[in-house]
Amino acid sequence: MSEVPKLTLGPVLFNWKPERWRDFYLRIADEAEIDSVHLGEVVCSKRQPFFDPLMPQVIERLSAAGKEVVLSSLALVMTAKEREAAQTLAGVEGFLTEANDLSFAAALKGRPFVVGPFVNVYNEGTLAYLAGLGAKRVCLPIEVPGSTIAYLAAQGLAEIEVQVFGRLPLAMSARCYHARSRNLSKDGCQYVCGEDADGMAVDTMDGKPFLTVNGTQTMSYRYHNLLGELAALRNAGVGRFRLWPQSCDMVAVAALFRRVLDGQIDPSEANRLLADLAPDAEFANGYIHGREGHLLVDEELLTA
């Protein structure tokens, strides 16, 4: 367990306009109480060319602000062009790289890297295998319950990171439902995913929002929120906490999580403030309590 808990900002998963994407990270660099910032396209390689020209400026600003920059890989590599891009990313020097695909983790063997939440790490055997390849940090999948998180953290094989805020990445697909919802093909998608800054809600048959679609990615509809569980996670040996970017004020969200981690504010009060920062969000924390992920369990301590 690290002496001081650290906050990580995951890569932007949505298709924001390039200028908005750039300005978001520049503000994070200048104002946010974030220790590590992930950059890179994780969902759809078709988006990456729009952001590549802006990467040097963003990296320079984040690095100058003392943020650790981590370069994130695609979560689903399918084409020859994507394999070539992954090989290029694997050869980048001077930055930690996040593997969101197991084959990419194998390509990083022998050098320190981060394992992202798209890789299924559910037990100590998988954790030991990845640590043997060189993984120094592992962000666990969202469905891992608190008891398993504590057990994996106790192994001491790698630094354990847990997702604590934002819509959750649940699944990736070769098909693009976002395009199909507009009667478009994936190849001719017209980048319609950019119309939904926080993803497109998907309703059940009786009209209740249940999931969110983001291009080829399925996400939770509710925002994951573990403000009330931060202290218990710290006691369990977790040293890093990941926030997923949303269109709300992420600088203020990060400050709120920082204050709770530092014991400067009560989690109950922090939850009230978070509701003000994201007024349209519905929150959930079921997975960590071993319950359905869409539930909001009203307790602040993890059960054994």
pLDDT digit string (tens) for 157-168? 999 999 999 999
* Res 303 pLDDT > 60: no
pLDDT tens digits, one per residue of 176-202 = 999 899 999 988 999 999 999 999 999
Rounded Cα gap, residues 287 and 202, in angstroms: 20
pTM over 0.85: yes
Banded model confidence at residue 299, pLDDT cuts 50, 70, 90: low
Residue 88's identity, in one-letter code, is T
pLDDT tens digits, one per residue of 271-298 = 999 999 999 999 999 999 999 999 999 7
Q: Is the dihedral of CA 207, 212, 214, 217 positive or negative?
A: negative
pLDDT recorded at residue 103: 87
pLDDT recorded at residue 135: 96
226 close to 219: Cβ distance less than 8 angstroms: no
Banded model confidence at residue 301, pLDDT cuts 50, 70, 90: very low
Rounded Cα gap, residues 84 and 6, in angstroms: 33
Determine the average pLDDT of the residues in 145-152: 96
Report the CATH number of the 6-170+219-289 domain: 3.20.20.70
Helix, strand and coil in the chain, % to nearest 5: 35, 20, 45
Report helix angle 146-154 to 124-133, nearest 10. 40
Query: Domain residues of the chain, as ranges?
Result: 6-170+219-289
